[in-house]
Amino acid sequence: MVVLAASIVGKSGKVLVSRQYVDMSRIRIEGLLAAFPKLVGMGKQHTYIETENVRYVYQPIEVLFLLLVTTKQSNILEDLDTLRMLSKLVPEYSMSLDEEGINRAAFELIFAFDEVISLGHKESVTVAQVKQYCEMESHEEKLHKLVMQSKINDTKDVMKRKANEIDKSKIDKTRGGDKGGLSSMSSLGSGFNDSSISHGRGSSFGSGSMLGMISDVEPISTKAKDRSRSSVTAPPKSSGMKLGKSGKNQLMESLKAEGEDIIEDVKPSSQTRTAVAPPTDPFTLTVEEKLNVALRRDGGISSFDMQGTLSLQILNQDDGFVQVQIETGGNPEILFKTHPNINRELFNSESILGLKRPDQPFPTGQGGDGVGLLRWRMQRADESMVPLTINCWPSVSGNETYVSIEYEASSMFDLTNVIISVPLPALREAPMVKQCDGDWRYDSRNSVLEWSILLIDNSNRSGSMEFVVPPVDSSVFFPISVQFAATNTYSGLKVTGMIPLRGGGGGVTPRFVQRTQLVAQNYEVV
């Protein structure tokens, strides 16, 4: 099997891309490709055409022809296998199968053809391997560029330092030649100044009698000080590649130049650490429920698990002798479990959370959300109790896949900061979004389309988004991950008051604040 050339031509005979794998003149290949449309136009349906010297093996691609020119002795079965492989590669590199799209991806197509055909013979590769070979990056090349850039920066530093030294020497010569007597006298005056400062004695002679002389040379001395200061603060010469901040910055710049989205790490400053205000109320109680849900793509719930906690944070140690009065929503599917140090009988009878030993206070300084008092769990629910359901409908039409995604939110919860992440096939450009209720963003690094809705309440319990991508299998768009938060919970747990055990509060309930949230920890449509 010998492939003479692999080409993409128009139906009018215009050559868009052609790669030759044997030595032949330009006149010959142009003549062979120019004769092909005339042979096809004879009204017969073939996958190949034979002439006296060569064989044409071709496949129509919309308004184009993917063409292999081979010898007549070549194995046509292997030629057809090679043609099928090339037909799979063309849509991977060309977003549109027309003249403009082929011209835009001409070099990428030639490189891909070279991975499939070597010296006229087919290589045993797959589409994924060809894409990997063509996109492979060289770590050694990046390292070499960083080393070269580091050497260039070192050379610039040496150049600046030498320039500062030359300027300083010129200034010293100017001061010594043009104003010899004046410079010596000013030096003498400065000598008196230095001695008077160092010994702590009277400095009226040094600073007073030489004042006029020093003022005459002040512009030159000031300039010399500024230049000498710049030479001192210049960075020292370094050898080789720096493995610190400069090397990291060079790597970041090179990745940004290649089109990567770089999220740089920011060290927390003092302002960042103080952004979250410490608690000011004597008691802070946090009710948090975390959802782990897997929904089926064709409807129904695959798994459901809700875990909740009640935590107490006390500001002062003296206020630790208290009990917490709570109310629950009465959901029979929720099972509550108290901390081992909590009096469970008191909780079961009066819904009061207190220590088994009332003479001991609740601990303080736990950090985070404080000390845990109560846990609960819910593992059974029907689809009507799920906060958010997602329906994804991909459909292939021609050379495009139309994807329609809908969400429906339960009236039980008002959701905030909703982000629906849909995985996509590897795309060179962002998908074409035709309609979106909310905002969207394409993460090219992870091939994920993020659909975000700031708030879902009674005004927008349902919404949809439609976008178009190249033809792919429907399983590519799963699993869909969802993130959201809510201020109401399944348990409906509320703290009604704090009961002091010491200090004689006089019937006044101590001041407290309650924080309640429901978060989606692992929420997917599989």
What is the spatial distance between Cα 224 and Cα 222, in angstroms, rounded to a whole number?
Answer: 5
Q: Which two tokens stand for residue 204?
A: 């009226």
Query: Is residue 130 within 8 Å of residue 115, measured between CB atoms?
Result: yes
Q: Which two tokens stand for residue 191?
A: 């000598």
**Greatest pairwise CA separation for the chain in angstroms:** 115
Q: Which two tokens stand for residue 51?
A: 């002439």
Query: Is residue 2 within 8 Å of residue 22, measured between CB atoms?
Result: yes
What is the spatial distance between Cα 137 and Cα 132, in angstroms, rounded to a whole number?
Answer: 9
Alpha helices of 200-242 — where are they, by DSSP H?
204, 211-216, 218-233
Tens of pLDDT, residue by residue over 280-299, are 778 888 999 999 999 998 88
pTM of the entire structure? 0.49
Amino acid 234 reads: A
The whole-number pLDDT of residue 415 equals 95
What is the spatial distance between Cα 433 and Cα 430, in angstroms, rounded to a whole number?
Answer: 9
Residue with tokens 């009226």, as numbered in its chain: 204
- Tens place of pLDDT for every residue, the chain, 526 residues? 588 889 998 887 788 989 888 888 888 888 888 888 888 765 555 688 888 888 889 888 888 889 899 988 888 888 888 888 898 888 888 888 888 888 888 888 888 888 888 888 888 888 888 887 787 767 778 888 888 988 998 899 899 989 998 988 888 888 776 554 444 444 444 443 443 333 444 433 344 433 333 334 344 344 434 443 433 444 444 444 444 444 556 666 665 555 555 555 444 444 434 444 566 778 888 999 999 999 998 888 989 999 999 999 888 877 888 899 999 877 888 889 998 889 988 988 998 999 988 888 888 765 566 788 899 998 877 888 899 999 999 998 888 899 999 999 999 899 999 999 999 988 888 899 999 999 999 998 889 999 999 999 999 999 999 999 998 888 899 999 999 999 989 999 999 988 888 765 555 778 888 999 999 999 999 9
